[in-house]
Amino acid sequence: DAGITQSPRHKVTETGTPVTLRCHQTENHRYMYWYRQDPGHGLRLIHYSYGVKDTDKGEVSDGYSVSRSKTEDFLLTLESATSSQTSVYFCAISGQGDTEAFFGQGTRLTVV
Amino acid sequence: AQSVTQPDIHITVSEGASLELRCNYSYGATPYLFWYVQSPGQGLQLLLKYFSGDTLVQGIKGFEAEFKRSQSSFNLRKPSVHWSDAAEYFCAVGADNNNDMRFGAGTRLTVKP
């Protein structure tokens, strides 16, 4: 497996609380991504980063923010979790140009 | 933005039978195309990818896919399915700079003994 670690792997949180998911890579790849996976929707891009402090929105970014202060870490924050954000979240990384994306093992988040 | 459609939500095949999973994409330029496989509780593993050149690409685990520009398709095939191939399969399309990879909804494959 590519050097990608997601933490935590599982989390249950209450509606309205902030939640931060962490993605850590040891590959020194430029691009990092956060996806959510829901039945019938496949994977949908939340936010991505193309360098330190360089981020952009994906197709389902509402309610989420990200930060990348170091090449190796990409944080996804739910400012005020809602039940609709219950999902499995995947981090992915890729290098410059036409390389594939490598995925982490996922974080299962339940908002109750 | 680019998009992907996987028309089949669930497919069941017998072990040893051939397999074809369909994928149609929408993108104005030459796409980057990928097939990933996901076993239960796991992340996604790349099976194969197409960027340019030969339109028939070979991947891991005996899979292949063919890029057909005229049909905007990138179907995944395997001549003889094994029970261990049971999983969910995702087709994805990337843009020129690979910043925004879009996934299909996935096809779940069941393999009958």
The stretch B73-89 carries a mean pLDDT of 97
Please judge whether B99 and A44 are an interchain contact, meaning their C-beta atoms are less than 8 angstroms apart. Answer: no
- Please report the residues numbered 70 through 109 in chain A whose beta carbons come closer than 8 angstroms to any beta carbon of chain B: 90, 92, 94, 97-106
Number of other CB atoms surrounding residue A30 within 10 Å: 18
Average pLDDT, chain A: 93
Per-residue pLDDT tens over the stretch A54-95: 999 988 999 999 999 999 999 999 999 999 999 999 999 988
pLDDT surpassing 60 at residue B37: yes
At residue B98, does pLDDT exceed 70?
Answer: no
Of B36, B45, B100, the CB nearest to A58: B100
Contact residues, chain B, for A42 at CB < 8 Å: 4, 6, 90, 103-106
* B34 close contact with A: CB closer than 8 A: yes
Q: Give the position of tokens 């992915």.
A: A92
d(C-alpha A9, C-alpha B112), whole Å: 32
Output the six-digit token pair for B56: 């028939």
What is the identity of the amino acid at B25? Y
Would you give the DSSP letter of residue A73?
A: E
pLDDT over 80 at A1, yes or no: no
- Which residue, among A23, A32, A37, would best test binding to B if mutated, counting the most B CBs under 10 Å from its CB? A37
Average pLDDT over residues B37-54: 90
- Token reading at B48: 């194969």
